[in-house]
Amino acid sequence: ELYRSDKLDEKTHIYGIIGNPVSHTSSPNIHNPGFEAIRYNAVYVPFLVDSVRAFFKLAEMLQIHGFSVTVPHKRSVQPYLGRITREVKQIGSCNTVVRIQNMWKGINTDYYGFLVPIEALIAQGEIRNALVIGAGGASRAVVWALHNHGVKVTILNRSIEHARTLANETMSAYDTLENAYLYSETVDLVVQTTNVGMGDLMGQEPCPSLHFSGKEFVYELVYKPEETVFLKRAKEAGCTIITGKQMLMEQGKLQFEAFTGYHYPHWVDVVL
Ligand code: ATR
């Protein structure tokens, strides 16, 4: 339905997502209904990509207008970009590439998508201290976003070396996950960025010793399932929760804007 060839013609702009694996991506379900709703002649297609270099050649041949980037290419696309934003440079990760004046520009909408639900709270001084669980790729965008907005961050991670590296770059504090209980009721925001709770690790939580006061905002990046054991526990303690699904949608809307120059149509009922 999304890629019906009779909807395409010589003027159709091609967009897509590159990654491996890429078959389970939900991004087409954001962009294609968005294009359709505003009558924008475009299509968004998943491309299973091993060689980033070969894909950039193809992108020229097909005159691709922009694309999303997922695992394992968020870092390796960067040598092919003519321009990158400050955030891409800081995080070392690019999830969106757009063609601007015959040049490829790399941006990171995970960074901004993460901020959307909490921006006003930070501005109002309601979020000053944060605990970030995990120190992988997703965590880098989160920690840099919080740091750039003046929030004091403590990173808790299974491997202390990964925590230390990111903490040193962002002037954050760090500790191991085992010490999570020491940080109970000390922060305004807790962000869970690890993959514990999804896939093979479904039903588990990364820091069961961390106790919630009920006053914190608790934000989780996992979006499948929408509510993990961790988030359920936070909700039961009375915390305000923000889900990975919200962040996924926000970053998708920003990507749509970068691709088309139009706001994402609010009347689309997106099925993620
Ligand atoms: P992503 O891009 O989703 O952040 P990643 O870069 O592979 O993925 O990072 C995975 C994160 O989840 C890391 O913080 C990892 O901890 P380590 O740095 O110690 O590897 C964390 N993680 C993965 N499996 C975990 C588990 N079983 N328990 C605790 N943390 C785990």
- d(C-alpha 221, C-alpha 156), whole Å: 15
Determine whether 232 is an active site residue.
no
Residue 85: CB within 6 Å of ligand 1?
A: no
* CA 119 – CA 268 distance, rounded (Å): 24
3 state SS of 248: helix
Decide: 157 in ligand 1 pocket, CB within 6 A: yes
The CATH architecture that domain 112-247 belongs to is 3-Layer(aba) Sandwich (3.40)
Q: Where in the chain is the domain with CATH 3.40.50.10860?
A: 5-107
In this prediction, residues 196-217 reach a mean pLDDT of 95
Among protein residues, the one whose CA lies closest to atom 26 of ligand 1: 196
Return residue ranges of the chain for CATH 3.40.50.720.
112-247
Give phi and psi for 254, each to the nearest 5: -65, -35
- The residue assigned the tokens 């993959």 is 195
70 falls in which pLDDT band (50, 70, 90)?
Answer: very high
- 162's CB contacts (< 8 A; 6+ apart) are 135, 136
- Ligand 1, residue 139: give the atom nearest the CA: 4
Handedness of CA 50, 52, 54, 60 (dihedral sign): positive
pLDDT at 145 over 70: yes
Q: Could you report the per-residue pLDDT of 108-137, keeping only the tens digit for each?
A: 999 999 999 999 999 999 999 999 999 999
CATH number of 5-107: 3.40.50.10860
Cα gap 31→36, rounded to integer Å: 9
Catalytic hit among 74, 105, 245, 253: 74
DSSP bridge partners of 129: 152
